[in-house]
Amino acid sequence: MKTIATYSKLDDAYLARSRLEGSGVVAFIPDEYTASNAWARTQAMGGIRLQVQDEDCDRANEVLGIRPHARGDLVCPHCGSHNVRLRELSAAAALGILFFGFILPAKSRKADCLDCRLPFDFKGV
């Protein structure tokens, strides 16, 4: 299984999965239960993942309109993958949501590799 996209809203993940399944590509949302019952935890984990079988990856990217260069300019320093996602929430902001019910203002300078699952720091905006 390979993660081809991540979403912040479950509805967006459902829509993408429907588009893929309508094109004959079997897709999975492994974070579906967590996203529907504990949205803040899903966001703290990096979003809602949409996964397909490895052999369907190219077809899925074509159906969803994800071009290879659109996957990001960041490169994972651990494995060299371009399948990288910037963290939308810092650890402090995620903890603020979980414990206080609101987002604490804190900027994240981390990214996560969706292939090797290792985090790394980046220099960005």
Tell me the C-alpha to C-alpha distance, in Å, between residue 86 and each of 27, 53, 59, 75, 76. 23, 24, 24, 11, 11
pLDDT of residue 70: 45
Count of C-beta atoms within a 10 Å radius of residue 92: 13
pLDDT of residue 18: 93
What pTM value is reported for the model? 0.55
pLDDT of residue 78: 83
Count of C-beta atoms within a 10 Å radius of residue 42: 23
Low-confidence ranges of the chain (pLDDT < 50): 69-72, 125
Which residues does residue 119 pair with via DSSP β-bridges, in sequence order? 112
Give the three-state DSSP class for 84.
Answer: strand
pLDDT of residue 71: 46
pLDDT of residue 38: 79
